[in-house]
C-alpha cells in the first residue's frame, strides 16, 4: 500500500450542523466540542450545530469551528488506529494539521485561530480588500497580470495556487477588480469574486503578523511527530522554530497547495483523506493527479466506509 496523507480544509468549508451527527454517536467527539467551548469560554458548539450560517461564517467563528470539527473527526481515525504519513492543511487547515501532528495542543490551537481570525479582520478595514478566483490561467501568466496592476499603485498578488488553472488573487478591492479585468483580456476563462472579509494571504495582512507572533509566543509549540507540509514553501516542517516562522509568514504569503500536493505525490502518497466538511481539497487533489485515491469525510456513513476501505487495503 502507498502512503496516506490527511488534509484539512480552510475557511469557506464551514456549514451549519457539521460534526453534529458524529457528536451524537461518539463520546470522544462530544468531548472535543466541549473542550472548544471551555477553551473559548463560550458556546461555539451551539453556533456550529445550529447556526445561523451568517454567524458561523464570521472569520472569528469559522476558524475555530472548522478546526474543532476536523479534530473531532480525527478522533474516530485515532480510535481505528489509522495514522497518516503526512499531514497538510489549506490556510487555517494548517493549524489543524499541526494539532494532528502533535505540534500544538487542541486547546492552544482553538484559542490561537480565534485570535488569528480577529487579527485578520482588524488588519484591513472592511471593503478595502478582497479576493477573487481566476480560472483557466497558469500562475506565471497571472503573476505578470498582478505585477502590471501593482505597478499602477494597487496592491494585488497571487494568494492561493490551488491546482492547474485555479488560482486565487488577493489585494485591495481596486487592485483585484483591475487584475480580474486584465486577466480576462489575457485569456482567463473566468474571474469570480469571493465572499471574504479581507485580502487574506497578501502583503496587506502583514500588519497583523506582529500580534500573531505574540499569540504564538504565548503557547507551546513542539516538534511535529508527523511531517507537516507547509503552505509557504511546500516543504516538510518538523522543528518547532520553523513551524512558528512559517505560521507567521503564512498570514501574508501565498498558499502553495498545488506544489504541496505534488510534493506528497513524489513521496509516494497515493491516498488523500480530507478530514472536515466539504470536498474542496479532494477536488483540488484530483485536478493535480486524477489517479490518486481521495476520500472526503462529511458524515458518519462516509467516515465508516472510508475506515473500512483503508483497513481492507491494509
Q: Look at residue 87 and give its three-state secondary structure.
A: strand
One-character DSSP codes across 279-302: SHHHHHHHHH-TTSEEEEE-SHHH
Say whether 41 is catalytic. no
The three-point CA angle 12-161-15 to 5° equals 10
Q: Look at residue 277 and give its three-state secondary structure.
A: coil
Q: Given its phi and psi angles, is residue 92 left (phi above 0), alpha (psi -120 to 50 degrees) or beta?
A: alpha
Q: Look at residue 187 and give its three-state secondary structure.
A: coil
Listed in sequence order, the residues at least 6 apart from 242 whose beta carbon sits closer than 8 Å to its beta carbon are 230
> Of residues 70, 90, 170, 201, which has the active-site annotation?
201
In 3-state terms the chain splits into helix, strand, coil percentages (rounded to 5) of 50, 15, 30
Q: Residue 169: which H helix or E strand, with range?
A: strand 166-172
> Of residues 91, 150, 202, 253, which has the active-site annotation?
91
Q: Which residues are catalytic?
A: 91, 201
Amino acid at each position: 500500500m502507498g502512503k496516506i496523507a490527511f488534509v484539512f480544509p480552510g475557511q469557506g468549508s464551514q456549514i451549519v450542523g457539521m460534526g453534529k451527527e458524529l457528536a451524537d454517536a461518539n463520546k470522544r467527539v462530544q468531548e472535543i466540542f466541549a473542550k472548544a467551548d471551555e477553551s473559548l469560554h463560550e458556546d461555539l458548539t451551539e453556533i456550529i450545530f445550529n447556526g445561523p450560517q451568517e454567524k458561523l461564517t464570521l472569520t472569528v467563528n469559522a476558524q475555530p469551528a472548522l478546526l474543532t470539527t476536523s479534530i473531532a473527526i480525527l478522533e474516530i481515525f485515532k480510535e481505528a488506529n489509522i495514522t497518516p504519513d503526512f499531514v497538510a492543511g489549506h490556510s487555517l487547515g494548517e493549524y489543524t494539521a499541526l494539532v494532528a501532528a502533535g505540534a500544538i495542543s487542541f486547546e492552544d490551537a482553538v484559542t490561537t485561530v480565534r485570535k488569528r481570525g480577529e487579527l485578520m479582520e482588524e488588519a484591513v478595514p472592511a471593503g478595502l480588500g478582497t479576493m477573487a478566483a481566476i480560472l483557466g490561467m497558469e500562475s506565471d501568466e497571472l503573476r505578470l497580470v498582478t505585477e502590471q496592476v501593482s505597478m499602477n499603485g494597487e496592491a494585488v498578488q497571487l494568494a492561493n495556487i490551488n491546482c492547474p488553472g485555479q488560482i486565487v488573487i488577493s489585494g485591495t478591492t481596486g487592485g483585484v477588480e483591475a487584475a480580474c479585468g486584465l486577466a480576462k483580456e489575457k485569456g482567463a476563462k473566468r474571474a469570480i469574486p469571493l465572499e471574504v472579509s479581507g485580502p487574506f494571504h497578501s502583503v496587506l495582512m502583514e500588519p497583523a503578523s506582529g500580534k500573531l507572533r505574540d499569540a504564538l509566543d504565548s503557547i507551546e509549540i513542539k516538534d511535529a511527530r508527523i511531517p507537516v507540509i507547509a503552505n509557504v514553501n511546500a516543504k516538510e516542517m518538523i522543528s518547532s522554530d520553523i513551524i512558528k516562522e512559517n505560521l507567521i509568514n503564512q498570514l501574508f504569503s501565498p498558499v502553495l497547495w498545488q506544489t504541496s500536493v505534488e510534493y506528497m505525490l513524489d513521496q509516494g502518497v497515493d491516498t488523500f483523506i480530507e478530514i472536515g466538511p466539504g470536498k474542496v481539497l479532494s477536488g483540488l487533489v484530483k485536478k493535480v493527479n486524477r489517479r490518486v485515491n481521495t476520500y472526503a469525510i462529511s458524515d458518519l456513513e462516509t467516515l465508516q466506509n472510508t475506515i473500512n476501505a483503508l483497513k481492507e487495503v491494509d
